[in-house]
Chain A
Amino acid sequence: MSRTQHIIPSGIIFAVGCWIAWISYTQQPAEAFLFPRLISSVFVVLAAWTFGKALMGLSRVGTGVSRTMIINLVPGLVVALIYIFWAAKTFGFYTATTVAFFILLSLYDPAPHNEARTWVKRAVITAGFIAVMYGLFAMLLKVYTPREILF
């Protein structure tokens, strides 16, 4: 793993640590920030140590992020974030979950996309999962979920 890969995350954490310390030592009332001051002081020291090690090329722990990993990850992550931050609230929990489940399953299912049987199988798995979720949570446990445009 390259030195830059260590520098970027440890640099971000160091910056966050400094920002927390700055807020803790400048905000009032001071009594409310007594404990955050204590933590942020230790936080900054440890983050500076980690950042310094990364700068000197002495960081070794971790596998880092590879290009292949990012290429694999991005489609699923984007679908998941759209589902969580927009679709669940806009369309309703069960509708959004159905769509997100089916898309994610199709994106990462190793079965060939050009066979009708594969798509039927994916649709059946999705329907089965949603039926179990709805039966268990909405009907049996009666737990409320967001139900906006659809359900």
Chain B
Amino acid sequence: MEFIYYFGDVFSPLSFALLLGGTIGGLILGATPGLSPTMAVALLIPFTFQLEAVQGLILLGAAYTSTVAGGAVSAILLKIPGAPANIATTLDGHTMAKKGQGARALQLSFLASAVGGVFGVLLLIFLTPVLAQWALAFGPSHLFWLAILGVTVIGSLDSDSVVKGLLSGCIGLWLATIGFDDIMGAQRFIFHPSLGGGINIIAALIGLFAIPQVLTMFAKGRKTQGAEVIEVQKHSVGKAAGELVRNPRALTIGTITGSIIGLIPGVGGQIAGLVAYDQTKKFSPDQDKFGTGHPEGVIAAESANNAMVGPSLVPLLTLSIPGSPTAAVLLGGLLIHGIFPGTDLFDNHPDVAWTFINSMLIGQILMCIFGLYVAGLAARVAQVPQSVMAAVVLGLSVFGAYSVQSSMGDVYVMACLGVMMFFLERYGFSAAPLVLGLILGPIAEANFIQGSMIANASVGMGPYFLGGPLNIFLMVVVAASVAYSVWTELRTRKVQNAVEVQS
């Protein structure tokens, strides 16, 4: 119950102002198609440089929470999901809006998001200290396998092709080795003086997430937005809250599904929303109504994608393993303030850890309150032309990359990685495993080197890295995640082949 002692810190004037600003800004950014939560959080990192670590994290956490919820606005009113996590929301949300129930759909979505989000953060509060203590038992070999697990899980699950996903992870791991070696001081893969200090993570994150989006907008040419915003009529919030209470099935399934999926590294909000929608439909007596503007569809999808937010931070805060690209960006935000997640965070910086987590809890409630009132404005912002959006994101990206170390070298790295990622994405490669590789690479290498020193002085490399129940368990999980993804890919291909033959 240590977290209770730090509740007051959230309400200090600057912290609360940042929480409010992050929440409202996040709702608007989330409603903007093309600005994913990961990209929004990455672009916000430069704003945190002048802040204390805890205040910076409050801003980033609030933005993360509310961008996921804000994505429902454009999903419902424009039929364009603000983020992949909101894909399932479009299925019934937009149909409700077309029937003149836009306000009802938005209210249900924000209320369900808040319930799911609060449950998810409570899970984060109660699971994190237990797992952080458990993490003390981890040695270098276990941490090495955990880092590899982080890359392989996201590589195999986040990509349409398992091999290309894993290859993206390898590219990230290789990029992480650029610069001077920590132990011998040897130069590795330094082809330009600006790479001497290695690849800066923040610049790389901005480049890998924001620049491909800018180039995608350019690639569409001089096109109009093509989506018409639906006007929101008035609807009583009390009625929507009553409807939510009368629909406990969708809310419970969505919240539990989202929380479980959030704990699995790499799975993400998109899958949480779709799985919750599918499960609610299966258990509902009104299966035929799904897809025709059924409120249960909106409740299930939105409670799931926000319930996922809290648990997705558990592996990050306990084991330093970011479970999602957004968690990886938050890790970058922690590292620039000299704070390392894991037991160090809870032992040496409990004020930072608990104030941040508490702010996410309060942020869920603020998101619900403001979401209901900002939705109309957010829908207008969502219609900002892509030409404006592309130019704004490019300007912010250059500024963000430069301001990390006041170095144009970081801007060049950002641009090169961004252009490379744009073309790689066209051929089925994915940014998420590459980012995880880049972030987890140093953790994997440090533990591999440390482990090999211990192994050479004791039992040898093989028994040290491949023996012991925890090592074997982690290897089995790595193999199982790859095997599952290969099986899913083969099954999908079989279905596609059958469809092609039929047509």
Residues of A whose CB lies within 8 Å of any CB of B are 5-6, 9-10, 13, 17, 20, 23, 27-29, 31-36, 38-40, 42-43, 46-47, 49-50, 53, 59-65, 68-69, 71-73, 75-77, 80-81, 83-85, 88-89, 93, 97, 100-101, 104-105, 107-110, 125, 129, 133, 137, 141-146
Contacts and interface: CB of A to CB of B under 8 A. Distances in A.
B381 interface: no
A108 B396 CA distance: 18
B395 A72 contact: no
Contacts of B424: 9
B387 A104 contact: yes
Given A32-B184, A36-B188, A64-B426, A108 B164 contact: no
B181 interface: yes
Interface in B58-88: none
B141 to A, nearest CB: 14
Contacts of A105: 387-388, 391
A34 to B, nearest CB: 7
23 contacts: A17-B170, A28-B186, A29-B184, A34-B449, A34-B452, A36-B189, A38-B448, A43-B174, A61-B160, A62-B160, A73-B218, A77-B218, A85-B412, A104-B390, A105-B387, A105-B388, A108-B390, A109-B222, A133-B396, A133-B399, A143-B403, A145-B399, A146-B402
A75 B188 CA distance: 35
A35 B453 CA distance: 13
User: Which one of A36, A61, A109 has the greatest number of beta carbons of chain B within 10 Å?
Assistant: A61
Given A109-B222, A143-B49, 10 more contacts: A31-B184, A33-B186, A35-B449, A61-B161, A83-B394, A100-B395, A105-B387, A105-B391, A133-B396, A144-B406
A58 B415 CA distance: 32
Contacts, number: 178
Query: Top 5 nearest A-B pairs by Cβ distance?
Result: A61-B428, A76-B218, A108-B387, A72-B221, A32-B186
Interface string B163-184: 1101100110110010001011
B50 interface: yes
A110 B161 contact: no
User: Which one of B173, B181, B189, B219 has the greatest number of beta carbons of chain A within 10 Å?
Assistant: B219
B214 A80 contact: yes
B7 to A, nearest CB: 28
Given A29-B186, A46-B166, A141-B50, A35 B395 contact: no
B50 A142 contact: yes
Contacts of A34: 448-449, 452
Interface string B422-452: 0111111100000000000000110011001
B224 interface: yes
Contacts of B170: 17, 39, 42-43, 46
Nearest to B442: A35
B181 A84 contact: no
Contacts of B188: 27, 32-33, 36
Contacts of A76: 214-215, 218, 390
B324 to A, nearest CB: 22
A151 to B, nearest CB: 14
Contacts of B15: none
B220 interface: yes
B179 to A, nearest CB: 11
A49 B218 contact: no
Contacts of B412: 84-85
Contacts of A83: 394, 398
A73 B215 contact: yes
Contacts of A104: 387, 390-391, 394
B337 to A, nearest CB: 16
Contacts of A146: 402, 408
Interface in B222-239: 222-224
A64 B399 CA distance: 30
B467 interface: no
B408 A145 contact: no
B218 A88 contact: no
Interface string B399-419: 100110010100110010001
A72 B399 contact: no
Nearest to A65: B426
A47 B164 CA distance: 8
Given A32-B184, A108-B221, A101 B426 contact: no
A141 B47 contact: yes
B427 A61 contact: yes
A20 B444 contact: no
Contacts of B444: 35
Nearest to A66: B219
A84 B220 CA distance: 22
Contact of B394 (A9, A63, A64, A100): A100
A11 to B, nearest CB: 11
A110 B398 contact: no
B215 A77 contact: yes
A81 B214 CA distance: 12
Contacts of A17: 170
